[in-house]
Amino acid sequence: MTRTVQSYINKAFDKLQDDQTFSAKAHQKDAIDYLNRAFDLIRHETSYFRWDSTSFKWSDVPLSLHCVREKHSHMFDDRFDEVRKLSQLRQDFKATPVIKPEPKDNKVTKKHNEVTKTVEEMIKDNQARYNEALDMARLFGGLNVSVTPHLVTNEYNTTFTRCFYYLEGKLTRLSIIMAVAEQLYKDEMGL
């Protein structure tokens, strides 16, 4: 692929989002780097033909796009308009805001919807399950609890044992099972 000033400018514009913002600071930096590479092409093309025969020193030539000023116009002659355009693009890209796009994955929304149950609904559900478990335990003369343990690895690569507790074949929180057992004990003792 032939590298030209225009190809680097195109690559810089490819880093922009559809709404003409950058999605990350790294994309903004990459776009500015592409503009600097385009400037390097102009600088090197000009240096082979002009700088050896002029009166200014090599160290007078700006090495990066952010160093270019009007006083350097005589170094680039007919290509200074391109350099000015690149310098202006660099300033525009520097001023362009970085706005992270909304996540395409709806994991956050899904989790948010799961958690949106109100506290009252959770209390009512727990109370209803507790009353049902208490009735079943009294009906059968004791608790019929089973446990299913299994290993789980979380997103931080930590492995631990998780247990599911079943009361009469229904998934039940351990706290509810313990409350039912305590109530049965109190009922038997007459407390």
In this prediction, residue 182 carries a pLDDT of: 82
pLDDT at 1 over 70: no
> Using one digit for the tens of pLDDT, what is the confidence trace for 148-183?
778 888 888 888 888 888 888 889 888 888 888 888
Q: Give the mean pLDDT of 129-140.
A: 66
The pLDDT-based confidence of 29 (bands split at 50, 70, 90) is: very high
Q: Label residue 168 left, alpha or beta by phi (over 0 means left) and psi (-120 to 50 means alpha).
A: left
- Which position has the higher pLDDT, 132 or 152? 152
pLDDT at 66: 83
Measure the CA–CA gap between 37 and 30, rounded to whole angstroms: 10
Q: How confident is the model at residue 138 (pLDDT cuts 50, 70, 90)?
A: low
Beta strand 170-171 with 145-153: parallel, antiparallel or unpaired?
Answer: unpaired
- The residue that leads in pLDDT, 120 or 35, is 35
Residue 115 has pLDDT above 80, yes or no: no
Predicted confidence at residue 140, as pLDDT, reads: 43
Decide if pLDDT at 87 tops 80. Answer: yes
135 has pLDDT over 60: yes
Give the residue-averaged pLDDT of 24-49: 83
Q: 96: which 2 tokens? A: 């362009």
Q: For all residues of the chain together, what is the average pLDDT?
A: 79
Residue of 174, 172, 168 whose CA lies nearest to 143: 168
Domain ranges of the chain: 5-95, 107-189
Answer whether residue 74 shows pLDDT above 60: yes
Is the model's pLDDT at 88 over the cut of 80?
yes
Beta-carbon count within 10 A of 32 CB: 20
Residue 10: both structure tokens together: 């195109």
Radius of gyration of the chain (CA): 35
Beta bridge partners of 170: 167
